[in-house]
Chain A
């Protein structure tokens, strides 16, 4: 605690806080010494006693502990360091991809659990970085509060999404029904309890630190928890809406890396010096082609294409349905220039493949910005990787930084262009209305259906 007192927050009365010498505070690891701007940056960083400490205390590139398993090390001991690194990354990539396939095979429920597990791990990684940046391990309550907020927000979102899809499941259990029906109120009450605990735990000396950690937690929740719930909602729309975007991003990562490795020459952006324009453009085209082909392959199977439903009789999740028009082959006439190239008048495509072009385009053009954002973040806080979970790759966040925006895009895309409202939800809401309203709606619907010739 003594160490913490010297380090930051709102200093108590009469306390003299010594500053480390200016030389140790070169901001951002940049050693160019332009006098005034450098000095101003130093003062900028120094406004809060915190940042100055951090600059000098954390070494600029903390050595990452080597967690490569012994087996791999022995097998690769012969190769030079560069190829060894390449091989480790390659093996781990293949391992992750096979794990991915395995879980897909096991079904949507396992996928949901996987997404949840990843969310918790990412949250943990970012919060740990926050602790390290602000040296706030000993802040009272804070670790508990962060995890508590994570729980509240997850409960809120699950109540919003799960309730719709598991309506039949939920109706059976009385407590579940109560928890779901009033989930907004209960999660808000829980959140309030956490908020009041936070306010009561404000200590005079550390109030700024505490506010920082509070804000850090909330921004992390905003980024990670909302994304993961959007992923799960897309998943329930049909596993293809989950698989295709994620594979497009992974494919873009890999092909951009390969193109950059073999043809890379022009740097893309100062933030990530390893990225090149050749890699970017090559990755774009290969991802679009990959998405197109993957969509063609996956659209055939009902398993991937149907919305996930919970059947009470079978007591499990089923994906069986009549595929919608999106997933039925249609004939398209080719525009003239393509006709000349392919020498065919028409082609049979799934409409979904056209959507997949949009998704792959987003994955290759905007997805990398998520990666740049994470790179900027790592540079700002002078860390090399988010964590050391995966040997050769860094933490879970490192793998998922490009997915960051993809999940939101897919959800917005589906909500705007694809999905209609959920019929069972509409029915639920109808049944809750007042009887007079129900009667009015009944009459309106009847007129409409007769007009359309359905009745």
Chain B
């Protein structure tokens, strides 16, 4: 801590250390508010080089620009390969990975908060932030997991109580944390503590809710997880390529490297990519079916009768395209039409998440969220465009695709009062008779 204090008090000339490089960059910009001119002329310190030695040697011959390009390229391929491996391993592993990414993102943003407010020695605060993370995660898992793992949960008594009363328990835990916060308010640091409290809550709001929506989508069917994320990644890469080769007109002042050519080229490329990817994926059951927990085999299964969305249908091509392609009809999965909506969102609105993160980095004068991935920055840097995508997919599914969950409805029904149950039963009966699904003969059995 003394080191940090000294760095704050004096002009920083300390050697760049890995994890403090961004704080240093900040300190450079902040301490010297009275020497703004000096800050502006001195460039931000070069982030520590995290690249593994092996890569360094292999690329030592190339110039710095191409070297950077190669490092980014190799890491990109490594991340994509990792993504495929995890998909292969199945939904449980995916869920765990999403959790880990969430924790790492939370950690990165909270660390930035600590750096910004120099609040390492605030009493209790690190403990409290992680404690709140735990509470909110428990609450959300209780909301989602309970529905899907109903049978598993019913068997174990402690699990059953934990999930049935999850709202009450998580609220109680949260309250304890809240009271601890109030009791820990120290006279000198009130404002700092309130800032960190607000910072923690906004971070929880952003990071934890998104990750749980992602898991929710995942349970709907792995394709609802894979296609949106791939579209955002594809848009990132395509916009970068188009910008690299054709880029001329800058897009927005916040991110000077983005160009209109990249934006529009990325949009079209992503839509096409989405169409192709969904065509390929809709053929496989393991991607298309909702994830279920099988009691007998005690594991997750993805086996079902694919719904209408994932069955090939004939569509008539509108006249204008007919002349171009020369076909009258085309066989597509209805899901591909939805994928156009998803890719459009990923290319048009997804970048705003990136601009938001860029603005955030400028506001707090950091170059990257962290230095976890060489050449790319922190985990948050890779996931900033995904920020809004997860929410959009979840809202989309809830509004247009998914109906209510039948097993959940049965559960709810069983907890009603007998007269209410009877009323619902009779209404359902008359409804089914109207629809012709039931005849009076069967009903009388």
Give residues 140-158 of A contacting B (CB, 8 Å).
none
Taking CB atoms, residues of chain B closer than 8 Å to A13 are: 36, 40
Q: Is the CB of B403 within 8 A of A41?
A: no
Contact with B437, one of A195, A215, A439, A445 (Cβ below 8 angstroms) = A439
A87 close to B (CB within 8 Å): no
Q: Is the CB of A430 within 8 A of B37?
A: no
Q: Is the CB of A454 within 8 A of B422?
A: yes
CB-based nearest B residue for A203 = B253
Please tell me which stretch of A43-51, A56-64, A280-288, A349-357 contacts chain B, meaning at least 4 of its Cβ atoms lie within 8 angstroms of it. Answer: A43-51
B441 close to A (CB within 8 Å): no
B420 close to A (CB within 8 Å): yes
Please tell me which stretch of B55-63, B185-193, B235-243, B288-296 contacts chain A, meaning at least 4 of its Cβ atoms lie within 8 angstroms of it. Answer: B185-193
Taking CB atoms, residues of chain A closer than 8 Å to B82 are: none
Minimal beta-carbon separation of B402 from chain A (angstroms) = 10
CA distance A46 to B179 in the complex (A): 28
Contact with B202, one of A218, A413, A433 (Cβ below 8 angstroms) = A218
Give residues 392-445 of B contacting A (CB, 8 Å).
392, 395-396, 398-400, 403-404, 406, 409-410, 412-418, 420-425, 427-429, 431-432, 435, 437-438
CA distance A14 to B36 in the complex (A): 6
A23 close to B (CB within 8 Å): no
| Given A47-B116, A412-B168, A420-B416, A442-B429 contact (CB < 8 Å) | yes
| Given A412-B167, A434-B403, A28-B191 contact (CB < 8 Å) | yes
B336 close to A (CB within 8 Å): no
User: A8-27, CB under 8 A of B: which get 1 and which 0?
Assistant: 00110111111100000001
Contact with B198, one of A49, A181, A219, A426 (Cβ below 8 angstroms) = A219
Q: Is the CB of B254 within 8 A of A199?
A: yes
Q: Is the CB of B359 within 8 A of A207?
A: yes
A114 close to B (CB within 8 Å): no
Number of interface residues of B (CB under 8 A): 86
Taking CB atoms, residues of chain A closer than 8 Å to B70 are: none
A30 close to B (CB within 8 Å): yes
B130 close to A (CB within 8 Å): no
Taking CB atoms, residues of chain A closer than 8 Å to B400 are: 185
Minimal beta-carbon separation of B368 from chain A (angstroms) = 17
CB-based nearest A residue for B35 = A16
Taking CB atoms, residues of chain A closer than 8 Å to B424 are: 423, 426-427, 430, 445
Taking CB atoms, residues of chain B closer than 8 Å to A452 are: 418
SS class, residues of chain A in contact with chain B: helix
Q: Is the CB of A435 within 8 A of B167?
A: no
Taking CB atoms, residues of chain B closer than 8 Å to A28 are: 187-191
CB-based nearest B residue for A16 = B36
Please tell me which stretch of A103-111, A237-245, A365-373 contacts chain B, meaning at least 4 of its Cβ atoms lie within 8 angstroms of it. Answer: A365-373
User: A202-214, CB under 8 A of B: which get 1 and which 0?
Assistant: 1010011011000
A72 close to B (CB within 8 Å): no
CA distance A372 to B182 in the complex (A): 7
Give residues 182-215 of B contacting A (CB, 8 Å).
182-183, 185, 187-194, 198-199, 201-202, 205
Minimal beta-carbon separation of B113 from chain A (angstroms) = 11
A90 close to B (CB within 8 Å): no
B349 close to A (CB within 8 Å): yes
Contact with B171, one of A27, A202, A409, A423 (Cβ below 8 angstroms) = A409
Q: Is the CB of A412 within 8 A of B171?
A: yes
B33 close to A (CB within 8 Å): yes
User: A22-41, CB under 8 A of B: which get 1 and which 0?
Assistant: 00000110100000011011
A interface residue count range (under 10 / 10 to 19 / 20 to 34 / 35 or more): 35 or more
B312 close to A (CB within 8 Å): no
| Given A216-B198, A438-B432, A17-B34 contact (CB < 8 Å) | yes
Q: Is the CB of A380 within 8 A of B420?
A: no
Taking CB atoms, residues of chain A closer than 8 Å to B202 are: 215, 218-219
Q: Is the CB of B118 within 8 A of A438?
A: no
Minimal beta-carbon separation of A326 from chain B (angstroms) = 12
| Given A222-B201, A421-B415, A184-B399 contact (CB < 8 Å) | yes
B391 close to A (CB within 8 Å): yes
Give residues 424-455 of A contacting B (CB, 8 Å).
426-427, 429-435, 437-442, 444-446, 448-449, 452, 454-455
Give residues 231-271 of A contacting B (CB, 8 Å).
269-271
CA distance A380 to B178 in the complex (A): 17
- 20 new A-B contacts, CB < 8 A, other than A38-B188, A215-B198, A420-B417, are A11-B36, A16-B35, A27-B188, A28-B188, A37-B188, A45-B191, A195-B388, A199-B355, A208-B364, A373-B178, A380-B190, A380-B193, A380-B194, A413-B168, A426-B412, A427-B427, A429-B404, A441-B428, A448-B414, A454-B422
Can you list 6 residue pairs at the A/B interface with Cβ under 8 Å?
A10-B365, A28-B189, A185-B400, A416-B167, A427-B427, A439-B432
10 A-B pairs with the lowest CB-CB distances in the bound complex, closest first: A380-B190, A429-B404, A208-B363, A421-B412, A416-B168, A207-B363, A185-B399, A380-B191, A423-B420, A202-B359
Interface residues of B (CB under 8 A from A): 5, 8-9, 30, 33-37, 40, 116-119, 164-165, 167-168, 171, 175, 178-179, 181-183, 185, 187-194, 198-199, 201-202, 205, 252-254, 349, 352, 355-356, 359-360, 362-365, 388, 391-392, 395-396, 398-400, 403-404, 406, 409-410, 412-418, 420-425, 427-429, 431-432, 435, 437-438
